[in-house]
Structure 1
């Protein structure tokens, strides 16, 4: 058995008509599990090719990290010949992941019904902004917009006491991208049982709203409400790395055992019983702002190193907050293989991001480097039966483009 064939998704072919972060994260994850991923790009390429740090205009760092292990095929779907090529590609595919709005795909003759006629076993996954059953179904969406729609800026304002703000991550794209991964793998499993493909929606708004509301429904969980929405523990302004005598330390004194040990260590063993705010989990939850505030007032009495030694000794979880530079060099991430190195054919020596999961009976993924735009158009289409002359005609008409002698054709 070869390394490739022993991976969980060996033999699964995915046609990926997505861009930015959500879809590419999903197919990157699936490529790491052994799937073949053919990335279909417009003539101008994935927008994120231009994003972030880069040596060359079409190979920004966000694209490099999100598109390893994929083949790049350029199809201009405004052209009939390109649409026909996509249909031929999908006829032998297992999964089609698309983030073009459904109405636009239907106008191109590429809606779910048309694709099912071409391949009844195809799993058609639409990564959209909003679910089709709601009034916002046709509305465009990006990470910042959905962060606003799910209340992130309002939560940040309540937490910091300042202006509304976004989380400094592509949070919604990455949450929804992981929803797409389990949707695809589950649909593949269902097809093994039924023999039939199906259509699946992965809407950014609903995925991210679930993420927020699972924490913050709070009193609004109940009918009638027991109180307002918003989880007090997560919104307490005292929930932050604690200032020590010489720095900061993240500490979580969580259960009764932890609290008894903490009070003993700071020389106030009777406080657990004496102060009802600390005496059990329920009371601590009801008084969480004051509880965190008390810890904050104590933490300034010792250095970070002194606190770490003491807290480790009494088995209370703690962690020195890392900078991005420290995270990149973290020995745990190096040892686990999450951070490694690769040599890209044109971009040179790069830090690479591996899989965060480890399978004891499956080789770790060895993904190819992120491709240049159209690097695989010729080879993929020739496997579908296109001749060199046909490809040149399509390229001349603007239906496709491919790399020839280091240049796009």
Structure 2
């Protein structure tokens, strides 16, 4: 690990002495477990993005050599971790990075007799993601507010606090606000629990919060790669906005981000004509790189486009991105020194496009009101513009 990396880790994670103090004070404290409002658990987001936690842990372990094996980590991070002895749990805690501010929030929760792991996990993820400090400054108070909101055990009291909460209004889906308030006044507590419309609107709030988080990650990435953005002339482009499905009133249908993803990759890889289409162009290019028959790659890409045959593995996405990006960079005069990072980032954006295609398909099939989904999808651009402004690089259009 480099000196710079070590300094960063030291600033955001607890020392062994601090871990000892934490465990001595709270290591065996019994508290009530609370479900977070508004926030989707990190592990469910991993599932939504088809992220294999074991593979993710192994990738992190390549950078942080002292971490426990993925088998050990999954055992301690699973729901059955409570069956493991306290001594062994403490040993595991000492072996992994413990985010400092996430621990502060955890302590604040336990002093009130409860814990909301989803909130502390999100704060810890932001701390460990090497983001601009502005990102954490923006999200930390909101996560603390959501922690307090999650404390309320009574359903009606929680609904009342939810409908009047400033942080919910800031992070949720705009179209949900007045509709949830109307339902709250019209329905009994039992009616609220059983209301399909309320479930949809609160789910829209959670997805909106997730899209806002994604907007901050994307804006931070763009600002952090500013010289490249200037070279590409993309500094005023809302990064990855094309992965967000858009509604066409004339055709009464949603756009397919997977179609857009393949079109963009094909253009990047030199396609300038309508024929052959992006699937055929990319399939032939990819097959030539791998030394296989073009038909197999073309068929695979067509299945991806149609959301058939299972989800593409991250490695397959990475392979396709690499082929397309290399063609682009060679046309511009050669590969850059940080090309590997760009491959990985491109594959992540492609995965997001595939996930959003699946999401819009499932929301449509489930009968979500179009107006609610339009409002939900609109939060990405709004949040992105604010993030860029707060990061000191406002969009000029």
Same fold (TM over 0.5): no
Q: TM-score, normalised by structure 2?
A: 0.24
Which structure would you say has the larger Rg? 1
Q: TM-score, normalised by structure 1?
A: 0.24
